[in-house]
Amino acid sequence: MTAAVKSDFLATLLAGRPPADGGDAMSRLRARAIERAGALTVPNTRDEDWRFTDISPLTKLSLHPIATATALGATDIQPFLLADAPCRLVFVDGIYAPQLSTPASGAVSVSSLFAAQSSPLVAAQLGRLAAFEHNAFTALNTSFVSDGACVLLSRGAEAPQTVHLLFIATRNDVACHPRCLVVAGAGSRATVIEDYVALNDGAALTNAVGEFALEDDAQLTHIRVQRESAAAFHIGHTAVSLARGSRYHGVNVSFGARLSRYNLEVVQTAEGGECEIGGLALVDGNRHADTHTTIDHTMPHGVSRQSHKCIVGGSAHAVFNGRIVVRKGAQQTNSAQSSRNLLLSDRARVDTKPQLEIFADDVKCAHGATVGQLESDEVFYLQSRGLSDAVARSLLTFAFGAEILRSIPSAELRRRLEQLVLAQTERT
């Protein structure tokens, strides 16, 4: 039976979880998640939410939990460091590596979740936004929650440096469950880069969950980059809550992984919350990238801007599902969403679905989706300036993606991602 196999997959992964019998908040959270995970099965393509993404290549794998941490030195991680984001937490296969990290304390606290667990903020916020009742992977992640990255901004605090949360995968055939918690106090400001990279080149599962709570008037820029190996499996879930007048600027980039699925959920919980979201998925070969986003306007005067792009080469497959909900009370919502997709080969495939659910009557919502190839007029323009057909196509493909990347505040990260786009488009 397929269902049995899938339950086995979850049960096997759950077997390695830490104990959940302590009296502390994290233990209690784990206990709830374990109970829930035991009742859930992994999704399949009969679930509407997973229609286009078949995870059976993942559930067929036999993955182990991490028993011991891989010891990495400064030179191992050097290629991933960003000089313009010196405040850094490093996790190796999900395990915190204090010797590679540069935590901060005070009004801008950047530390491991374990170190911050006595904070009432952590007890109050952890597990609050990333709902796991109906999400097997989030339940699984939460069953393991004992450490992770934690950024706490006091009221009015302004992070002087970009925070770099670096998650390095080093081992094949393992499953790890990274966790992030960011609480941006009223009026605070910060830029956080959540960066998934790899030193391994085989199959492994990264099942990451991040929670971002923005209190009144907080401004947070969150750059999420998934650049793991082309054989990796990456499941990501980000949950964001926007209080009154707060502003979330998110950019999610999905370049790596054999199969990736990213769920982004933004809830505007009070008047005037704003979000601006850029997304870029780049897949080639027979890889698969799925992005599901929900922006939920529950209160009046919310603003959301979303632009998602997919560049699909080879016989790869990209999926975008962008759900915008405008609840009954959310009058004067202003929302715009665009999904633009570039197919680089005849075998490439994209499924894009804007999904508007509007229950208020005085709102402005625009959305659009395009799927296309490079325009021959554009290619010709560049050729007429001496560039070869291949260079012209690669430059135009690069430009298509660069439009999303250019809002990334770290120049160094932006440059590296641009190089990845160029390298990949030149191969196609």
Alpha carbon distances (Å) from 249 to 26, 194, 216, 218, 235: 29, 13, 15, 11, 21
Neighbours of 376 (CB within 10 A): 9
**Residue 388 in contact with other proteins, rule: CB under 8 A:** yes
Tokens representing 175 are 């499953």
In the chain, the amino acid numbered 342 is L
Stretch near other proteins under the rule CB under 8 A, chosen from 103-111, 161-169, 294-302, 388-396? 388-396
Stretch near other proteins under the rule CB under 8 A, chosen from 69-77, 138-146, 263-271, 380-388? 380-388
Shortest Å distance, C-beta 277 to other proteins: 18
Q: Which residues pair with 349 in a beta bridge?
A: 317
Q: Is the CB of 46 or the CB of 385 nearer to other proteins?
A: 385
**Residue 387 in contact with other proteins, rule: CB under 8 A:** yes
**Residue 378 in contact with other proteins, rule: CB under 8 A:** yes
Q: Is the CB of 89 or the CB of 408 nearer to other proteins?
A: 408
**Residue 366 in contact with other proteins, rule: CB under 8 A:** no
Distance CA 25, CA 160 (A): 31
Shortest Å distance, C-beta 228 to other proteins: 25
CB 302 within 8 A of CB 270: no
Q: Is the CB of 295 or the CB of 311 nearer to other proteins?
A: 311
Alpha carbon distances (Å) from 394 to 252, 344, 382, 426: 22, 10, 11, 6
Stretch near other proteins under the rule CB under 8 A, chosen from 171-179, 182-190, 243-251, 379-387? 379-387
Q: Is the CB of 264 or the CB of 395 nearer to other proteins?
A: 395
Considering only residues 380, 415, 419, 423, which one is a binding residue for other proteins as defined by CB under 8 A? 380
Rounded-to-10 torsion of CA 218, 128, 49, 197: 70
Size, binding site for other proteins by CB under 8 A: 25
Shortest Å distance, C-beta 251 to other proteins: 14
**Residue 372 in contact with other proteins, rule: CB under 8 A:** no
Considering only residues 35, 124, 362, 381, which one is a binding residue for other proteins as defined by CB under 8 A? 381
CB 258 within 8 A of CB 233: yes
CB 29 within 8 A of CB 126: yes
* Four-residue CA torsion sign, 71, 75, 81, 85: positive
Stretch near other proteins under the rule CB under 8 A, chosen from 129-137, 271-279, 300-308, 373-381? 373-381
Considering only residues 223, 268, 401, 413, which one is a binding residue for other proteins as defined by CB under 8 A? 401
Residue of 43, 49, 56, 44 lying closest to 353 (CA atoms): 49
Q: What are phi and psi for residue 118, nearest 5 degrees?
A: -75, -10
Shortest Å distance, C-beta 373 to other proteins: 13
Q: Quick one: DSSP state of residue 250? A: E
Considering only residues 71, 74, 391, 423, which one is a binding residue for other proteins as defined by CB under 8 A? 391
Binding residues among 125-164 for other proteins as defined by CB under 8 A:
none
CB 113 within 8 A of CB 148: yes
Q: Is the CB of 283 or the CB of 396 nearer to other proteins?
A: 396
Alpha carbon distances (Å) from 413 to 76, 193, 224: 18, 9, 11
Q: Is the CB of 362 or the CB of 375 nearer to other proteins?
A: 375
**Residue 336 in contact with other proteins, rule: CB under 8 A:** no
- Can you say how many angstroms the Cα of residue 314 is from the centroid of all Cα atoms in its chain? 24
Interaction site with other proteins (CB under 8 A):
376-389, 391-392, 395-396, 398-403, 406
